[in-house]
Amino acid sequence: MATTTFLSLDLTVLSSYAILHHMNQLTERQQEILQTIIDYIAQHGFPPTHRELAALVSIKTTRGIETQLHALEKKGYIKQHHVARGIQVLRRPDD
């Protein structure tokens, strides 16, 4: 009986890890946006505004880019400081 309990617990832990790992993976669109931010900072020395970023990745509204940035922040890739050009990259897609 104890073996079954440990096995069940191990499967629960592995399942939880798999879900968390999947949740932290970036979609192709999120990877594109993150890479665009990284490239923009490398070229200009500061991050793009939401409007500039939206234009660079062909998103029509700032609300659309804000949704994507929120997802990147939730996954731990960026931090948004609520000022103009307030996007801070915390980690790269391959970290």
Model pLDDT, residue 20 = 46
pLDDT for position 5: 56
Residue 50: phi, psi to the nearest 5?
-60, -40
Q: What pTM value is reported for the model? A: 0.76
Q: How many CB atoms lie within 10 A of CB 63?
A: 10
Rounded to whole angstroms, the Cα distance separating 52 from 56 reads: 6
pLDDT at residue number 1: 53
pLDDT tens per residue, range 2-22: 555 555 555 555 444 444 445
Which is more confidently placed, 82 or 8? Answer: 82
Residue 10 is predicted with a pLDDT of 58
3-state secondary structure the chain: CHHHHHHHHHHHHHHHHHHHHHHHCCCHHHHHHHHHHHHHHHHHCCCCCHHHHHHHCCCCCHHHHHHHHHHHHHCCCEEECCCCCCEEECCCCCC
Residue type, 47: P
